[in-house]
Amino acid sequence: MNEPHDAPTIAQLVEAVREFLERDVMAATEGRVRFHTRVAVNVLKMVERELELGPDQVADHRAALERLGVGDEAALAAAIRSGALDDRRDDVLDVLRQTVRAKLEVANPGYLSPGMRRTP
């Protein structure tokens, strides 16, 4: 539970809205409204995944950047451009792969092979 707030949690509220759109609105609409409802459902699915996976992803990403000795992605990009990490190519590629995987886990886990997914 997210104190000081009681149930329903943010995740439960998002899920309820998504389910309403999927079950009731999509079935009762067509054309443009149905398309935009489908888009809204997909956005809410992304929010649900980020609520579930996000905290661990943030911690993992920070730790990976720290291992490379950079504070954020801008610093990582600058270090790559300057050649400061040329001797750590494998480490950099590993961090970049982890970053892309985390983004896809939230945005669209269907783009990942089943063994790569860490979905809620």
Question: pLDDT digit string (tens) for 53-92?
Answer: 999 999 999 999 999 999 999 999 999 999 999 999 999 9
Q: Specify the pLDDT at position 28.
A: 96
pLDDT confidence bin for 117, thresholds 50/70/90: low
Q: Specify the pLDDT at position 6.
A: 82
Amino acid at 34: R
**What one-character-per-residue DSSP string does 62-84 give?**
HHHHHHHT-SSHHHHHHHHHHTT
How distant, in Å, are the alpha carbons of 52, 96, 97 from that of 68?
26, 11, 14
pLDDT confidence bin for 96, thresholds 50/70/90: very high
pLDDT tens string 7-61: 899 999 999 999 999 999 999 999 999 999 999 999 999 999 999 999 999 999 9
How distant, in Å, are the alpha carbons of 8, 14, 25, 62 from that of 3?
11, 18, 32, 26
Mean pLDDT of 102-110: 95
